[in-house]
Amino acid sequence: MKLIEVQNNQMFKIDDIRFTGKEEFRDTIAELMLNGSRLISLTPVDPDNPKKIFAALTDKNFSVIYLSGCDFNGSALEYESFANDFPQTNYFECELAENYGIMPLNHPWLRPVRKQNVIMGNIPYHFFQLKGEEVHEVAVGPIHAGVIEPGHFRFQCHGELVYNLEINLGYQHRGVEKLFLQLNSDQRIILSESIAGDTALGHAFAHCHAIESLSNIQLSLRAKVIRTVAAEIERVAMHLSGLGGIANDVGFALPSASYGRLRTLAINSLALICGSRFGRGLFVYGGVRYDIDNEIKNSVMENLNTILNDVRQVNDYMFSSVGALSRFEETGIVSKDLAQSIGLVGLAARSSGLEEDVRINFPYSAYRYNPVSMITLSTGDVFARARLRALEIDETLRFIIEQLENLPEGEIKAGSGKTVPGSAVISMIEGWRGEIVHSVFTDSEGKLMNYKIKDPSFNNWYGLSLALRETGISDFPLCNKSFDLSYAGHDL
């Protein structure tokens, strides 16, 4: 059977998707996953009328996205769950069930995604509980000790060791996907910057790409380079923030303070470019709002060179400390096989040895002309996730400085266009955490009909949960920080 293949950011007609019966849909998806594809989107085409569902799977070896559809055709809104054979689909199926009441039959563990204590609309849900004499339960959240977002963690412990960690989120749910359909174009960009405020540029990037593809807008090379430079500065800033948090969680004050200082330099560079320390306001449809002139370029370069020089020395200091390494190494391990089967993405996947990087596997924007290197580590522990950040900062700074030194000439903003009716696009971006996917569908008038967002945190929270198994409960803050996932991005 011939499948529809598209590339990252390639517009396609909704009518071209082949909607088959449940059996054929199941066989198609199962075969793709058996051959190493990963599910990135599972959603009805029209949320108001969820009788047809759409699935997108990526094959990183061929840089293609496979599209498949299922038409329930009047029969009950249920299908045989994939999750028993392919754990990566587990959470996608829970989400589909929660949002639209589409039931995955024989699902191994149907859990709430953004609701509390209830599944399938009204069936009471109870946390998994371990029973026995030496067993105890620890409940944390939704409000945590630090200045961070809310979420509930339920640990089942056997002595000091965590037997199971259940993560219950949804406290941040603001109804972002629905809002996208109601707002006008100026508002939508601002909303995309607020999906996850720490990845403002990543999500704005994905959103702009989606809309630009749907309205056939071509960008100048200069605009593309400015976009990628800004997005990479965001990556540097958040990796520094992550390293600072990891150092802080093992009580290592000096590196923590140094990473904090360097992060300020990185986000102040974004403020030099566009006035916001998080890059808000930079992205517009068709390009960027602010140009980088020589004065700004020189100030930014100065900041980046300071970071480049200092961060290497701070890294050497931290990663040669026996005390710090003893906390990092062999803590919170996710093996390569496990990472593959649960479908980890981004930084966490690369730390476990998976070659998952949208910038390289599905190149977009300026990465098509100026590639970055794939960096992977194999141990999948806190050390790998921390060390990978350090290595990526180095590579990313090299990329940014090279781009700024060779900034192409051109306009920074292209004209606007209208979104094409009856079409859809899958827009993938490598945010600093990992793969961001925006799947956008338009109706017969060209208005947005469905806006589906997948933050990398959606894949990776389950990874944190599994990393904690057989790990001391006192290592939880450290493991959590090493993943550094978004609550808002997950809850939407």
Partner 1 sequence: MKDAIKIRILQGDPVIHDVKNASLPKLFRGLPVIEDKPCLTGCTSCAEICPTNAIKLNPVSIDIGLCVFCPLCEEACPEKLIHFTNDYNTASEVREKLIVTNKTKSITPEKASEKIRNYFGRSLKLRQISAGGCNGCELELNALGNVNFDMGRYGIEFVASPRHADGIVITGPITENMSKAVEICFDAVPNPKIIILVGTCAISCGIFKNSTKLQRKFLNENKIDLFIPGCPPHPLTFINGLLDWLDK
Which stretches of the chain bind partner 1, using CB under 8 A? 114, 116, 142-143, 145-150, 170-175, 178-179, 182-184, 186-187, 190-191, 194-198, 200, 241, 254-255, 257-258, 260-261, 263-264, 268, 271-278, 280-281, 289-290, 310, 313-314, 316-317, 320, 486-488
Give the torsion through C-alpha atoms of 270, 271, 277, 281, to 10 deg.
Answer: -90
Length of the chain: 492
Beta bridge partners of 158: 135, 161
Give the torsion through C-alpha atoms of 125, 130, 135, 137, to 10 deg.
Answer: -20
Nearer to partner 1, 172 or 423 (CB): 172
CB of 397 to partner 1, least distance (A): 16
Residue keyed to tokens 């979104």: 419
CB of 321 to partner 1, least distance (A): 9
* CA 489 from centroid of its chain's CA atoms: 8
Query: CA-based diameter of the chain, in Å?
Result: 70
CB of 481 to partner 1, least distance (A): 12
Nearer to partner 1, 101 or 146 (CB): 146
Nearer to partner 1, 248 or 379 (CB): 248
CB of 210 to partner 1, least distance (A): 18
| C-alpha distance from residue 394 to each of 112, 233, 304, 361, 482 (Å) | 39, 12, 11, 20, 18
Nearer to partner 1, 19 or 153 (CB): 153
Nearer to partner 1, 289 or 336 (CB): 289
Nearer to partner 1, 38 or 387 (CB): 387
Nearer to partner 1, 130 or 179 (CB): 179
CB of 80 to partner 1, least distance (A): 31
Q: At what angle do helices 456-467 and 90-100 cross, to 10 degrees?
A: 120
CB of 19 to partner 1, least distance (A): 30
Nearer to partner 1, 7 or 276 (CB): 276
- Strands 19-20 and 64-71, by their bridges, are parallel
Residue keyed to tokens 């945010």: 431
CB of 30 to partner 1, least distance (A): 35
CB of 142 to partner 1, least distance (A): 5
Peptide bond preceding 142 in cis form (omega within 30 of 0): yes
Using DSSP, state whether 117 is helix, strand or coil: coil
Beta bridge partners of 124: 118
Nearer to partner 1, 245 or 343 (CB): 245
State whether the Cα torsion 189-194-195-201 is positive or negative: positive
Helix (H) or strand (E) holding 153: strand 152-158
Residue keyed to tokens 């700004």: 296
CB of 187 to partner 1, least distance (A): 4
Torsion angles phi and psi, residue 379, rounded to 5: -80, -25
Give the torsion through C-alpha atoms of 276, 280, 286, 292, to 10 deg.
Answer: 20
